[in-house]
């Protein structure tokens, strides 16, 4: 039986030799959903799904809505499809869409047209051109890498995209694209790819003409891409602003020159300009993203495997001395480097899936495939087949080099060769293969020679599958090779005075790959301090979290009983009048609406301010506090000495307590030791807990955030942070699920704040004792106004434990607005802002406190610090099942979007907060110049949280102690 009822055409006699036994129908993959078929599974996890199909057969049917597609899972049969059946199985609908848009380029054409065109183009990729290309690749990469700065955080995928585009433009076209064109190209490409896929799934071509958003974006992208390609082909810059400046030296040998000099064998006429443009777009489409993605994975793997990186560098030193232009001979000697790139290409083959369509009935293994059947194969799935590659997801260059090689697929047999098909096979085999191998090696060599990339915690490469398997989210910090680890860069200003939002300033926000968060992820008895939300779970025998009970089974109504809010007009406390003014002068972004359990200072961020999801990343500038080496010793105090001289902004004449000498690292180290003694003396920690506790390096957060704190203030800050973290961790256990027990802990603490008799029966007497002492140390030197303010803000903070416990007990989750409010206060940022005054030795000016803009600035400060924490702690919290109280996770749940989109939205929100805070500080400074130190303190606080959070072992998932 054949698939006549699932295909559109009647069967004709098969072209290929029949199989020995009677032909069979490929099995249907299990799990089809009525109406949708396997589309949900494919969309949810394309590579996992395609990889799983080999269990069911060497060819497996899947249903995508009304269509049936045959997936070829066997490497040998894929090879047959591409080579023996190449004539009968041309490329299908996906390529047809491109053909309509870009004409008959190599990537889109078939049959004789394809063969003729390939013959014309082949010389462009011949061995005699390679030396020239190597020089260009080397020069372009050098130019780009020279522009990077020590300490810069590099958005690797973005940089590699630009690099690959520039290499193709300069090598094949001897042209340069304007910066605008480069950006436009990378913006347009995803729309083009999406449109290509969606349009190929339309039941009829006419659908592509409907004014659907996807079609409109596709058309716009095609226009843009054609314009960009025109620049490369013609050497003109239509915008006149940044002209294409091809050197012109190689004009006679470029790809356009080759095409213009050629005659179409079919017509006997020269190729048209449309033909030239079609081939140009083909090269841009096929030769940029594939390479940039592979380069990104290559850097990711080297960052993960320092031993491999060291070996590559040693080989480069031996065969490709620094400063020399690579030659084909030198590259041929880089055996180990080649093995490394080969392993990257195996594990991360950029082509997630490719397609063919059977023109006539064909035999494929034991199956007869009817005419019209679409055939899909995934090179990535083949390269990860455990039957072909033991431990397939392990990065192991030894498969291709040295002793292990014989056991690997490079062992030399035909079957082994068929198992490695990153560049395809047959007549459509990648024409740029040699170019690509060379580019990967030359670009990686130029980058690694100059820079040592180190992973930014939480910013590992993540697979995102479209037609290619993209590597998204990798951020690395750059250290000059041979130099010491850089200081984080200080704020840079553009000539126009605005902030530089170059990649150096981008916060990493992308979820690490699954492998980063596996069973070895750390679980710690003591949370980091610092902003909450980073709570570790108690260590269970399996290493899994034993913490917070199930949350997320039910959704809380938008207005929970916990979210009863008082109006601004009823707000109390020292900032009440400011709050009321703020409420009256309602700005479009937010309105002041204090919630009763949050105290008088809350400001609500409308949910809409966290959307729409954008691609903006947070722009955070870092104070150069020094490097924070990891992992051990956990407290790199040397790095946290205060800046040699206070920043100019802090040398204001009104400083009450001028700095004598800057704080030394020794002071922070001594404070850390005193804190340990203090925690032991209060029974907050047992001696055996200390080692693990120290790995959280909590004093670093204080060191980053309070560069001028010393002596008793430094001790106070470190002790408060330690105490709060230990308290926070208690709520990961049973008290966090039992409202009565939670009240039993929190009420006594509140009583201390209010000066009331403490109710008996707390389950945490050590915490209570320590709190009494801490509160006394906080308030003793401070005036009554400060005490009232600090007490109110501590109340708001402590009550969030009750709110969160109530949610856990009721198995409800907060909506986004409540999450934002909860998180703002839960992080005890407000009390920590109050301690700025403690450190300074006096209250901030009364006028400043009465200013509504300060109210907003403080809310922004709390929000920004908390959101930074949420970005980094999302994965950890998800593992710990405390997802309800993380803004990224809440957003993801409520919007139904991906983690990275939620993270981007949060990142964009941080950007906006930062920009608004800068503006608020400027305006406040004009009105209250004597409060400059306080205003700067809020900025330092956020920067400190960023510096600590982004380097803390708590969030890395792989470096953290076990
Ligand atoms: C790591 C880098 C690369 C990978 C993994 C890769 C992979 C592939 C694969 C699998 C195919 C076959 C597609 C099919 O059978 O339908 C292909 C075709 C093609 N590639 Fe590449 N490619 C890479 C780089 C490049 C570069 C640098 C260029 C040009 C500058 C290029 C130009 C092309 C062209 C023009 C085709 C179509 C060939 C034809 O149909 O005759 N590729 N590539």
Q: Which of 510-524, 659-673, 767-781, 928-942 has the lowest mean pLDDT?
A: 510-524
Indicate which residue's Cα is closest to atom 11 of ligand 1.
430
The sheet carrying 451-455 orders its strands as 153-155, 475-480, 451-455
Lowest mean pLDDT among 14-23, 227-236, 259-268, 430-439: 14-23
Out of 432, 441, 444, 469, mutate this one to test ligand 1's pocket (max ligand atoms within 8 Å of CB): namely 432
Q: How far is the CA of 260 from the centre of ligand 1 (A)?
A: 22
The residues, any chain, with a CB within 8 Å of residue 849's CB and separated by 6 or more, are 574, 575, 578, 789, 843
Query: Which tokens hold the place of 428?
Result: 């459509």
Total number of domains in the chain = 1
CA of 430 from ligand 1 middle (Å) equals 4
How far apart are alpha carbons 620 and 810 in whole angstroms? 38
Whose structure tokens read 């009465």? 850
In this predicted model, what pLDDT tens digit does every residue of 839-859 receive, in sequence order? 888 889 999 998 889 999 999
Q: How many CB atoms lie within 10 A of CB 339?
A: 25
Residue nearest to atom 1 of ligand 1 (CA): 291
Whether residue 772 is contained in a domain is answered as yes
Considering the domain boundaries, does residue 702 fall inside one?
A: yes
Report long-range pairs for 647-650 (Cβ below 8 Å, ≥24 apart): 647/936, 649/932, 649/936, 650/708, 650/932, 650/933, 650/936
User: Is residue 484 predicted with pLDDT exceeding 60?
Assistant: no
pLDDT at 894 over 90: no
Helix (H, G, I), strand (E, B) or coil at 558: coil
Among the ranges given (16-30, 618-632, 742-756), the one the predictor scored with the smallest mean pLDDT:
618-632
Q: What is the pLDDT of residues 634-650, one digit of tens each?
A: 223 333 333 333 333 32
Does the pLDDT of residue 725 top 70, yes or no? yes
Write the DSSP assignment of 910-935 as a string of letters.
HHHHHHHHHHHHHHHHHH-GGGHHHH
Say if residue 612 is preceded by a cis peptide, omega within 30 of 0: yes
Min mean pLDDT across 73-77, 639-643, 750-754, 918-922 is at 639-643
Q: CB neighbours of 143 closer than 8 A, spacing ≥ 6?
A: none
The tokens for 134 are: 């190597």
Task: Verify whether ligand 1 is closer than 6 Å to residue 118 (CB atom).
Answer: yes
Residue 17 lies in a domain: no
In a domain, 812, yes or no: yes
Q: Distance from the CA of 291 to the center of ligand 1, in angstroms? A: 10
Of the two residues 43 and 609, the one the predictor is more confident about is 43
**What pLDDT shows up at residue 470?**
81
Distance CA 129, CA 139 (A): 16
Domain that holds residue 799: 528-955
Do the strands 67-72 and 374-377 form a parallel or antiparallel pair, or are they unpaired? parallel
Residue 39 Cβ contacting ligand 1 at under 6 Å:
no
Average pLDDT of every residue of the chain: 73
Q: According to the model, what pLDDT value does residue 879 have?
A: 65
Taking residues 599-608, what's their average pLDDT? Answer: 27
Atom of ligand 1 nearest to the CA of 350: 5
Find out whether 421 and 351 touch, Cβ atoms under 8 Å: no
Would the CB of 378 count as within 6 Å of ligand 1? no
Could you tell me what percentage of the chain is helix, strand and coil, using 3-state DSSP and rounding each to the nearest 5?
A: 55, 5, 40
**Low-confidence winner among 121-130, 473-482, 888-897 (lowest mean pLDDT):** 888-897
Q: State if residue 330 touches ligand 1 by the CB under 6 angstroms criterion.
A: no
C-alpha triplet 813, 816, 817: angle, nearest 5°: 115
**Model confidence at 182: pLDDT above 60:** yes
Residue 300 counted as domain residue:
no
Structure token digits, residue 230: 């025109």
In a domain, 116, yes or no: no
Q: Left if phi > 0, otherwise alpha if psi is -120 to 50, otherwise beta: which for 175?
A: beta
Cβ neighbours, 10 Å, residue 840: 18
| For residues 30-52, average pLDDT | 87
Average pLDDT score over residue span 214-221? 85
Half-sphere exposure of 250 (CA within 13 A, CB side): 20
When pLDDT is averaged across residues 337-355 and rounded to a whole number, the result is 92
Q: Is 357 in the pocket of ligand 1 (CB under 6 A)?
A: no
Task: Output the pLDDT for position 953.
Answer: 55
355 lines ligand 1 (CB under 6 A): no
Nearest atom in ligand 1 to the alpha carbon of residue 114 is 41
Does ipTM surpass 0.95 in this model? yes
**Residue, of 201 and 868, whose pLDDT is higher:** 868
Higher-pLDDT residue of 171 and 517 is 171
pLDDT: is 464 or 395 the higher one?
395
Question: Which of 79, 92, 107, 290 has most ligand 1 atoms within 8 Å of CB, for mutation?
Answer: 290
Asked whether the predicted pLDDT for residue 591 surpasses 50, the reply is no
- The answer as to whether 507 is a domain residue is no
pLDDT of residue 792: 92
Measured from the CA of 440, which atom of ligand 1 is nearest? 1
Q: Ligand 1 center to residue 82 CA distance, Å?
A: 14
The number of angstroms, rounded, from the C-alpha of 515 to the middle of its chain's C-alpha atoms is 15
* Distance in Å, CA 422 to ligand 1 centroid: 9
- pLDDT at position 538: 27
Give the number of the atom of ligand 1 that is nearest the alpha carbon of residue 424.
10
Q: What are phi and psi of 798, to 5 degrees?
A: -65, -30
530-575 per-position pLDDT tens digit: 333 332 222 222 222 222 222 222 222 222 222 222 222 333 333 3
Q: Is the CB of 91 under 6 A from ligand 1?
A: yes
Q: 737 and 805 in contact (C-beta within 8 Å)?
A: yes
On whether residue 624 sits in a domain, the answer given is yes
Q: Measured from the CB, is residue 284 less than 6 Å from ligand 1?
A: no
The residue ranking higher by pLDDT, 40 or 298, is: 298
Best mutation site among 133, 279, 286 for ligand 1 pocket (most ligand atoms within 8 Å of CB): 286
Is there an atom of ligand 1 within 6 Å of 294 CB? yes
| Omega before residue 118 within 30° of 0, cis | no
CATH of the domain at 865: 1.10.600.10
What is the structure's pLDDT at 93? 67
Is the Cβ atom of 90 under 6 angstroms away from ligand 1? no
Element (H, E) at 448: helix 433-450
* 591 SS3 class: strand
* Among protein residues, the one whose CA lies closest to atom 30 of ligand 1: 287
């Amino acid at each position: 039986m054949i698939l006549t009822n699932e295909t559109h055409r009647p069967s004709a006699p098969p072209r290929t030799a029949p199989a020995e036994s009677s032909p069979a129908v490929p099995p249907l993959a299990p799990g089809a959903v009525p109406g949708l078929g396997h589309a949900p599974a494919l969309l949810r996890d394309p590579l996992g799904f395609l990889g799983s199909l080999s269990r069911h057969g060497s060819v497996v049917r899947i249903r995508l809505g009304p269509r049936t597609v045959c997936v070829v899972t066997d490497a040998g049969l894929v090879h047959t499809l591409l080579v023996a059946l190449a004539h009968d199985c041309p490329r299908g609908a996906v390529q047809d869409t491109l053909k309509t848009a870009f004409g008959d380029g190599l990537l889109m054409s078939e049959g004789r047209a394809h063969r003729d065109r390939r013959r014309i183009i082949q010389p462009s990729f011949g061995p005699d051109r390679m030396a020239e290309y190597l020089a260009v690749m080397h020069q372009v990469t050098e130019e780009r890498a020279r522009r990077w700065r020590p300490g810069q955080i590099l958005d690797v995928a973005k940089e590699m995209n630009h690099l690959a585009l520039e290499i193709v433009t300069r090598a094949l076209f001897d042209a340069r694209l304007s910066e605008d064109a480069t950006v436009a190209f990378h913006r347009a490409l995803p729309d083009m790819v999406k449109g290509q896929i969606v349009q190929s799934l339309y039941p009829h071509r006419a659908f592509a003409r409907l004014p659907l958003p996807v079609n409109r974006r596709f058309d716009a992208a095609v226009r843009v891409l054609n314009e960009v390609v025109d620049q490369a082909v013609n050497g003109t810059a239509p915008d006149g602003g940044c002209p294409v400046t091809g050197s012109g030296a190689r004009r006679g040998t470029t790809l356009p020159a080759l095409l213009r000099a050629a005659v179409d064998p079919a017509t006997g006429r020269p190729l048209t300009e449309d033909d030239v443009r079609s081939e140009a777009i083909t090269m841009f489409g096929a030769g940029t993203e594939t390479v940039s993605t592979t380069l990104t994975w290559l850097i990711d793997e080297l960052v993960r495997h320092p031993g491999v990186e060291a070996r590559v560098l040693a080989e480069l030193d031996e065969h490709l001395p620094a400063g020399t232009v690579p030659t084909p001979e030198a590259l041929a000697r880089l055996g180990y480097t080649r093995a490394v790139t080969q392993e990257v290409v195996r594990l991360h083959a950029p082509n997630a899936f490719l397609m063919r369509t059977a023109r006539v009935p064909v035999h494929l293994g034991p199956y007869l495939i009817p005419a019209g059947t679409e055939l899909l194969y995934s090179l990535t799935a083949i390269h990860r087949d455990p039957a072909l590659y033991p431990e397939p997801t392990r990065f192991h260059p030894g498969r291709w080099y040295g002793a292990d090689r014989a056991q690997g697929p490079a062992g030399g047999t035909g079957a082994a060769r068929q198992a490695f098909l990153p560049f395809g096979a047959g007549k459509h085999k990648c024409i740029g293969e040699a170019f690509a191998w060379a580019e990967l090696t030359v670009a990686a060599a130029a980058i690694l020679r100059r820079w040592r990339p180190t992973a930014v915690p939480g910013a590992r490469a993540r697979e995102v599958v479209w037609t290619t398997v993209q590597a998204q989210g990798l951020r690395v910090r750059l250290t000059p090779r041979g130099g010491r680890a850089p200081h984080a860069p200080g704020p840079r200003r553009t000539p126009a005075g605005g902030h530089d939002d170059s990649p150096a300033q981008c916060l990493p926000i992308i979820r690490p790959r699954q492998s980063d968060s596996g069973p070895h992820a750390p679980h710690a008895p003591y949370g980091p301090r610092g902003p909450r939300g980073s709570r570790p779970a108690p260590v269970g025998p399996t290493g899994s979290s034993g913490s917070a009970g199930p949350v997320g089974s039910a959704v809380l109504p938008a207005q929970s009983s916990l979210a009863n809010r008082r109006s601004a007009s009823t707000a109390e406390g020292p900032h009440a009048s400011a709050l009321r003014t703020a409420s009256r002068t309602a700005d479009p972004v937010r309105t002041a609406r204090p919630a009763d359990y949050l105290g008088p200072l809350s400001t609500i961020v409308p949910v809409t301010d966290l959307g729409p999801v954008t691609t903006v990343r947070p722009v955070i500038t870092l104070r150069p506090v020094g490097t924070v080496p990891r992992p051990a010793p956990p407290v790199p105090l040397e790095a946290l000495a205060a800046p040699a001289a206070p920043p100019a902004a802090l040398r204001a004449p009104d400083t009450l307590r001028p700095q004598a000498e800057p704080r030394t690292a020794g002071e922070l180290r001594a404070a850390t030791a005193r804190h340990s003694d203090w925690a032991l003396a209060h029974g907050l920690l047992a001696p055996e807990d200390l080692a693990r506790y120290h790995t959280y390096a909590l004093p670093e957060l204080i060191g980053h955030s309070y560069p001028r704190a010393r002596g008793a203030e430094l001790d106070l800050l470190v002790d408060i942070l330690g105490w709060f973290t230990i308290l926070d961790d208690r709520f990961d256990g049973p008290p966090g699920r039992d409202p009565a027990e939670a009240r039993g802990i929190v009420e006594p603490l509140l009583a201390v704040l209010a000066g009331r008799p403490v109710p008996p029966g707390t389950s945490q007497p050590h915490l209570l004792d320590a709190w009494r002492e801490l509160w006394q140390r906080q308030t003793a030197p401070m005036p009554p106004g400060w005490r009232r303010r600090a007490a109110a803000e501590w109340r708001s903070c402590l009550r969030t434990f009750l709110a969160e416990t109530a949610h856990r007990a009721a198995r409800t989750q907060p909506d986004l607005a409540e999450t934002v409010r909860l998180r703002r206060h839960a992080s005890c940022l407000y009390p920590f802002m109050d301690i700025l005054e403690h450190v300074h030795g006096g209250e901030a000016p009364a006028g400043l406190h009465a200013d509504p803009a300060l109210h907003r600035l403080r809310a922004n400060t709390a929000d920004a610090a908390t959101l930074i924490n949420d970005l980094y702690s999302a994965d950890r919290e998800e593992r710990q099942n405390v997802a309800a109280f993380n803004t990224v996770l809440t957003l993801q749940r409520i919007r139904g979007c991906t983690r990275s989109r939620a993270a981007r939205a949060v990142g964009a929100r941080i950007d906006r907060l930062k920009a608004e805070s800068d503006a608020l500080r400027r305006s406040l400074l004009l009105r209250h110049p004597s409060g400059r130190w306080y205003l700067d303190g809020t900025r330092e606080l956020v920067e400190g949280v960023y510096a600590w959070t982004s380097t803390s072992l708590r969030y890395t998932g792989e470096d953290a102690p076990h």
